[in-house]
């Protein structure tokens, strides 16, 4: 597939990765968030949770439910979510505005506790995940319309996260997280957001 076929020109005249289509929510996410280096602990925790919520769903579903998820999880403030008990999980699961999957909701709580354990050990989620960032590379030049679903680094990151007690962090989720958090730049060559 040619580079042009992997690009989509928006109403603003900018060429973008094809996957964001023309949905304003998706375009804004592509332009303002996806692939931009992220180091903030709270934001990384939120993104890791959202990637876990995405498992089996379209990312646009997560983006549309993100405002309600932020309310339900008290802004994804790690210290708050780490204190969630059974009543909090039941409250979240009763909210029709969120993705109501018990395993994913419970994983968000477990993962908050794992982030706090990292801090108590003198590390951080940011330090951990960025240790798995591959060397910078040129914009993605794949020969079909599918972005990579995983990588050696994503698989290694998933393994380490699971070892540390994180849940809903398989290799595909870990790699999607790496793409979203800017550890890798998988913008298509020619996309206005691509680094090169």
CB pairs under 8 A, 24+ apart, for 158-163? 160/128, 160/132, 161/114, 161/128
Q: How many angstroms separate the first and last alpha carbons of the chain?
A: 19
| 59 has catalytic annotation | yes
- CA 124 – CA 39 distance, rounded (Å): 10
Backbone phi, psi, residue 140, to 5°: -65, 130
Question: 166: which 2 tokens?
Answer: 């994180």
Number of residues in the chain: 196
Q: What are the distances in angstroms from CA 15 to CA 30, 111, 129?
A: 11, 37, 30
Q: Which residue from 107, 109, 23, 82 is spatially nearest to 58, judged by alpha carbons?
A: 23
Find the catalytic residue in 29, 45, 140, 175: 29
Q: Has 130 been annotated as catalytic?
A: no
Name the active-site residue from 26, 34, 45, 59.
Answer: 59
51 is catalytic: yes
Query: Which position among 45, 46, 51, 153 bears the catalytic label?
Result: 51
Q: Which residues are catalytic?
A: 29, 51, 59
């Amino acid at each position: 597939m040619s580079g042009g076929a992997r690009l989509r020109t928006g109403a603003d005249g900018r060429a973008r990765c094809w996957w964001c289509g023309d949905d304003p929510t998706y375009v804004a996410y592509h332009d303002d968030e996806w692939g931009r280096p992220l180091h903030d602990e709270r934001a990384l925790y939120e993104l890791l949770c959202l990637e876990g919520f995405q498992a089996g769903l379209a990312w646009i579903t997560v983006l549309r439910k993100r405002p309600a998820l932020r309310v339900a999880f008290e802004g994804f403030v790690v210290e708050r979510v780490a204190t969630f008990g059974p009543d909090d999980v039941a409250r979240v699961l009763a909210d029709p505005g969120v993705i109501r999957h018990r395993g994913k909701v419970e994983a968000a709580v477990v993962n908050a506790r794992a982030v706090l354990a990292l801090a108590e050990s003198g590390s951080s989620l940011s330090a951990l995940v960025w240790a798995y960032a591959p060397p910078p590379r040129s914009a993605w030049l794949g020969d079909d319309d599918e972005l990579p679903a995983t990588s050696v680094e994503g698989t290694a990151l998933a393994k380490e996260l699971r070892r540390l007690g994180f849940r809903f962090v398989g290799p595909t989720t870990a790699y999607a997280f790496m793409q979203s958090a800017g550890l890798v730049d998988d913008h298509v060559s020619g996309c206005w957001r691509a680094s090169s």
